[in-house]
Amino acid sequence: MTNPVTIERKDEIAVVWTDNPPVNAISHAVRLGLMEAFESLAKEGDAKAIILACKGRTFFAGADISEFDKPVQAPHLQDVFDTIEGMKVPVVAAIFGTALGGGMEATLACHYRVADAKARLGLPELNLGIFPGAGGTQRLPRLIGVRGALDIIMTAKPISASKAKELGIVDHIAGGDLMAEAKAYARKLVEEGKGPRPVSRLSVDGTGVEEAFAHYEAFAKSRLKGRTSPLKALQAVRAAMDLPFKEGLALELKLCLEAKDTFESKALRHIFFAERKTRKIPGLPEDTAVHEIANVGILGAGTMGGGIAMCFANAGLPVTLVEANEDNLKRGLATIERNYERTVKRGRLSAKQKNALMANIRGSLDMANFADCDLVIEAVFENMDLKKEVFRKLDSICKQGAILATNTSTLDVDEIAAETKRPEYVLGLHFFSPANIMPLLEVVRGAKTDAGVLKSALQVGKRIRKIPVVSGICFGFIGNRMLSPYGREAQRMLLEGASPKDIDSVLEDFGMAMGVLAVYDLAGIDVGHKIREAMRDNKPDDPTFFAAGAVMNDAGRFGQKTGTGFYRYEKGTRGRFEDPDALALIRKTAEDLGVVQDPPGREEIFERCLYPLVNEGANILDEGIALRASDIDVVWTAGYGFPRHKGGPMFWADHIGLDKILAGMKKYREKFGPLFWEPAPLLERLVREGKTFADWDKENA
């Protein structure tokens, strides 16, 4: 294996280069290479200054996460960075791209930092269930104070080079050629006789820190509820104040290794890689040509069309937004503008930027304006006849090679594609509401969808900052199909006497962003009801099936938008309240349907919601609707609020044991009969063979 680290010596300034594509992750080979390079430069002793630099597209993106499951191999990053910091001549970091995690910590071990103007620096480790373990919790508070360090560590968000300069992390921002400016900076240090400047020798500024600790302790308990790594991070930062550097470093390492071995960290790492795997499609040749997408058309400026238009406008793509009539177009554009204005008010967008984004969206009443679009997404009402008519029109208007997509949430994409003369250019692009915010994008592959079209959709998905997941065609695709048994049981348990709060609190204590009944209230109870009514012929033969939702719908209790649903909402408060009227309506329905009042306990609520969810995931996998179990995990963490630190439903199921899920399914089959409780054949097979969903992925995806 070639050494990813090399030394360039042209003059008195040595450059230690790392070249480890794609993102210069600090793997074992890089650690070894860096150690050898700095030790050899120390031994030779004739370099007057050293620059730490990277080739390729970015400075170090951090430790190599793929090595976290393996035993730690020397040298440890802390030792490499100690060696760098201990050099007798100044070491300058030349930062560009994203210096993240161990990458940012590498810069802190250097004595000076020069950054490209577009560089970003950050310590995102909490997103992986660990925290900075290569000196970050000890050096950053010494360099910029505890408050600033906590902000960077606890929010896990990268900062710009200019912010880093303002905070005193970066010494010089390179407006031009980074390496030329880093060398000039190093040469100047030499000329001025400035030597090493180890951060570890600085003392920690502890003024006013208790307030910052209290703030982030509260943050950890609320926003990062159920997680242990944030508390460990706080403990390590405190050690920077209380302990000498070396002892603080030792504690940081001990706590970080503990964090790395938790389920929380394994789950978050699983999601990290799972989100990147979704774009890899088995059987799709590497060299499949993609279609360039330079401008986009969107039909329908309602709830979804408007949000979708914003996604593309935000990514700098010109959008043609077509509506059926003047009023709806005006209303749609006004909603988009209002959304942007809200961002301006929050200070996250300037008025000028807002105007530029609005200028990317051209409203029109004429579908003929789609003629030159490379991709057109339809977001009109959920009605098959209308969609078919629209696709026939699009087919006749749009240029050859243009991709036609539908945002349908339930309709058969193949049936829609069959209306066109180009079914290979048709697919589903299922956005989630609010489309400009939710990161998930289900890319629905039709029977005839061309490989290049699919690949283009995945690429454009990434370009608009979505996480695209491929789904086959079935009712509800991956996400909504799994939502059905999960929500069905929640609604059935209402009839048995549980209150909405009883149910949602169990789910929220598990870590769901929102309980499922609160989700129905948010999404609109009428929306789901309409969809179920449309499938009347295929409805299961059980009068209790979503009966609680039906009674809410019939009473005009659509959820948040009407102020009442499963809960009651009060204007001006963000809270939701248990509503005696809702409880009475549900009780009456239970009586009419003859449901015995026997409220389930917390454990039963938990099992009856989550086990069918996993069971349906197994069916989806077995039928080839999802390509891999990890894709299902991404759908549920990115689109349905399943806790990332539990890794998604399939990863979590592997963790608690598939035999437990299977036993649970059988237990409730005994009680309620087979209609809803038949274990998935794949679940039974995996349990029989002593395997997991992760094994299934290894063997099949």
Positions marked active-site: 105, 125
CB of residue 377 to ligand NAI, shortest distance in Å: 10
Which region among 42-50, 132-140, 328-336, 643-651 touches ligand CAA (by CB under 6 A)?
132-140
CB of residue 205 to ligand CAA, shortest distance in Å: 23
CB of residue 411 to ligand NAI, shortest distance in Å: 7
Closer CB to ligand NAI, 212 or 301, in the complex:
301
Using the rule CB under 6 A, is 679 a contact of ligand CAA?
no
Among 84, 100, 159, 582, binds ligand CAA (CB under 6 A): 100
CB of residue 636 to ligand NAI, shortest distance in Å: 16
Residue nearest to ligand NAI (CB): 302
CB of residue 149 to ligand CAA, shortest distance in Å: 14
Distance CA(573)–CA(590), nearest Å, equals: 31
3-state SS assignment for residue 594: coil
Residue 433 interacts with, from ligand NAI, ligand CAA, none (CB under 5-8 Å by kind): ligand NAI
Distance CA(404)–CA(424), nearest Å, equals: 10
Size of the chain in residues:
701
Sheet of strand 120-122, all strands in order from the earlier edge strand to the far edge: 98-100, 120-122, 159-160
Closer CB to ligand NAI, 61 or 411, in the complex:
411
Closer CB to ligand CAA, 64 or 82, in the complex:
64
Closer CB to ligand CAA, 482 or 627, in the complex:
627
Closer CB to ligand NAI, 131 or 391, in the complex:
391
Distance CA(7)–CA(50), nearest Å, equals: 10
Which region among 63-71, 338-346, 385-393, 557-565 touches ligand CAA (by CB under 6 A)?
63-71
CA 363 to chain centre: 31
Using the rule CB under 6 A, is 102 a contact of ligand CAA?
yes
Using the rule CB under 6 A, is 23 a contact of ligand CAA?
yes
Closer CB to ligand NAI, 129 or 305, in the complex:
305
Residue 128 interacts with, from ligand CAA, ligand NAI, none (CB under 5-8 Å by kind): ligand CAA
Residue 671 interacts with, from ligand CAA, ligand NAI, none (CB under 5-8 Å by kind): none
CB burial of residue 172 (10 Å; 0-12, 13-18, 19+): middle
Distance CA(289)–CA(287), nearest Å, equals: 6
Using the rule CB under 6 A, is 251 a contact of ligand CAA?
no
Return the closest-CA partner of residue 551 out of 526, 578, 514. Answer: 526
Residue 301 interacts with, from ligand CAA, ligand NAI, none (CB under 5-8 Å by kind): ligand NAI
Closer CB to ligand CAA, 133 or 461, in the complex:
133
Using the rule CB under 6 A, is 282 a contact of ligand CAA?
no
Using the rule CB under 6 A, is 276 a contact of ligand CAA?
yes
Using the rule CB under 6 A, is 80 a contact of ligand CAA?
no
DSSP 325-354: SHHHHHHHHHHHHHHHHHHHHTTSS-HHHH
Closer CB to ligand CAA, 274 or 507, in the complex:
274
CA distances from 417 to 38, 282, 285, 311, 432 (A): 61, 23, 24, 24, 21
* Residues near ligand CAA (CB under 6 A), total: 24
DSSP code, position 291: P
Residue 381 interacts with, from ligand NAI, ligand CAA, none (CB under 5-8 Å by kind): ligand NAI
Using the rule CB under 6 A, is 271 a contact of ligand CAA?
no
41 touches 50 (CB < 8 A): yes
Distance CA(377)–CA(74), nearest Å, equals: 52
Using the rule CB under 6 A, is 552 a contact of ligand CAA?
no
Residue 23 interacts with, from ligand CAA, ligand NAI, none (CB under 5-8 Å by kind): ligand CAA
CA distances from 238 to 198, 214, 255 (A): 20, 12, 13
Distance CA(458)–CA(280), nearest Å, equals: 9
CA distances from 355 to 312, 341, 344 (A): 15, 10, 11
CA dihedral 652, 655, 660, 662 (to 10 degrees): 60
Using the rule CB under 6 A, is 248 a contact of ligand CAA?
no
650 touches 287 (CB < 8 A): no
Residue 303 interacts with, from ligand NAI, ligand CAA, none (CB under 5-8 Å by kind): ligand NAI
State the Rg of the chain over Cα. Answer: 28
For the beta carbon of residue 338, count every other beta carbon within 10 angstroms.
Answer: 10
Using the rule CB under 6 A, is 140 a contact of ligand CAA?
no
Using the rule CB under 6 A, is 697 a contact of ligand CAA?
no
Residues that bind ligand NAI (CB under 6 A): 299-305, 322-324, 328, 379-382, 390, 407-409, 431-433, 523
Residue 124 interacts with, from ligand NAI, ligand CAA, none (CB under 5-8 Å by kind): ligand CAA
Alpha helices in 145-244 (DSSP H): 146-155, 161-167, 178-191, 209-222, 229-242
Among 15, 47, 128, 470, binds ligand CAA (CB under 6 A): 128
Distance CA(337)–CA(330), nearest Å, equals: 10
CB of residue 144 to ligand CAA, shortest distance in Å: 17
Using the rule CB under 6 A, is 66 a contact of ligand CAA?
yes
Q: Which residues contact 526 (CB under 8 A, 6 or more apart)?
A: 553, 558
Among 4, 62, 306, 549, binds ligand CAA (CB under 6 A): 62
Tell me which H or E stretch contains 497.
none
Return the closest-CA partner of residue 107 out of 91, 118, 93. Answer: 93
115: which strand partners?
A: 95, 173
Beta strand 159-160 with 319-322: parallel, antiparallel or unpaired?
Answer: unpaired
Using the rule CB under 6 A, is 149 a contact of ligand CAA?
no
Closer CB to ligand NAI, 199 or 380, in the complex:
380
Distance CA(307)–CA(297), nearest Å, equals: 13
Residue 276 interacts with, from ligand CAA, ligand NAI, none (CB under 5-8 Å by kind): ligand CAA
Residue 65 interacts with, from ligand CAA, ligand NAI, none (CB under 5-8 Å by kind): ligand CAA
Closer CB to ligand NAI, 100 or 310, in the complex:
310
Closer CB to ligand CAA, 607 or 633, in the complex:
633
Helices 229-242 and 245-260 pack at an angle, to 10 degrees, of 170
Distance CA(186)–CA(93), nearest Å, equals: 10
Residue with tokens 């009227």: 581
Distance CA(338)–CA(615), nearest Å, equals: 42
CB of residue 101 to ligand NAI, shortest distance in Å: 35
Binding site for ligand CAA (CB under 6 A): 22-23, 25, 61-66, 77, 98, 100-102, 105, 124-125, 128, 132-134, 136, 273, 276
